[in-house]
Amino acid sequence: MRPMRNIIVDFDGTISDSREDIASAQLWALGQVGFAGATREDLYPHIGKPLTETFLSVLPRDLHERIPDAVRHYSDYYPPRSLVTTVLFPGVRETLEALVARGCRFAVASTKRGAGIRRATDHFGITGLFVQLQGSDDLPFKPDPAILLKILEAQAWSPAETLMVGDTPHDILAGRNAGLATCGVTYGSLTEEEMLALRPDYCIRSFPELIDVVQNGTASIHHRLHPPGRSDAKSC
């Protein structure tokens, strides 16, 4: 039984449903560089990735030189509109409060900048539930483990006692690269099949199921990832 006292969570697509605000801002930025060939649905799977990577995937090759301009337009446009439709996923607040009350410690590791994370957590009144809000300011983006390693160092957390929770391949790979157990969520950017293909240690269909992962080492899709009877986590 491996104790999971520390939990690092991604933000967009993991604890907050921000895809409408993000995709709308990305569409606006793409329009500013002369591209109108994308839809919100095209952009949803890319949420949580670095902007440069997203625009590289969406823009035609003859507009790739405009990617820095698109990134700049987005960075100017999104912050004051970042919380128009964004909400917490169901059960996020209650789950965070329940696990913190049991002694778990939470940190955020996001592609967002730190100021953007703080703006959102203040808006939802959950800032105090986290010991660290770590953005990708001046750090390599996930799947590079740098952002996770910075949290581990700052909080003196053992990788063996820390779980990474996220909704993208970058989250799962970053956790693995940092030597952490990983938990994928299937309500964010990936389908259940796509998430399972990444082979996270745990996989959940809703955020409240994180309680079972931490307390019992089980999850709703646990049996499809590990042999029956295996349990790697225990309660805080």
Q: What is the CATH number of the domain that holds 23?
A: 1.10.150
Active site annotation includes 171:
no
Do 43 and 141 have their domain in common? no
Do 166 and 52 have their domain in common? no
Do 200 and 150 have their domain in common? yes
Q: Are 221 and 205 in contact (CB under 8 A)?
A: yes
3-state secondary structure of 176: helix
Cβ–Cβ contacts within 10 Å for residue 135, how many? 19
What pLDDT was estimated at residue 3?
67
Do 73 and 111 have their domain in common? no
Do 112 and 227 have their domain in common? yes
Task: Tell which of 65, 81, 97 closes a domain.
Answer: 81
Do 12 and 26 have their domain in common? no
Domain of residue 227, CATH code: 3.40.50.1000
Choose among 14, 2, 3: nearest CA to 172: 14
Do 11 and 36 have their domain in common? no
Do 125 and 188 have their domain in common? yes
Name beta bridge partners: 89: none
% of the chain beyond a pLDDT of 70: 92
pTM exceeds cut of 0.95 = no
Q: Give the chain's mean pLDDT.
A: 92
CA distance 7 to 2: 13
Do 141 and 42 have their domain in common? no
Total domain count, the chain: 2
Mean pLDDT of 177-184: 97
Domain around 60? 19-81
Sort residue 104 into left (φ over 0), alpha (ψ -120 to 50) or beta: beta
Of 10, 12, 167, 171, the active-site residue reads 10
Q: Is residue 109 scored above 80 in pLDDT?
A: yes
pLDDT band for position 230 (cuts 50, 70, 90): very low
Do 49 and 91 have their domain in common? no
Contacts of 104 (CB under 8 A, 6+ apart): 4, 5, 6, 7, 214, 236
Choose among 6, 9, 1, 45: nearest CA to 152: 6
Do 227 and 191 have their domain in common? yes
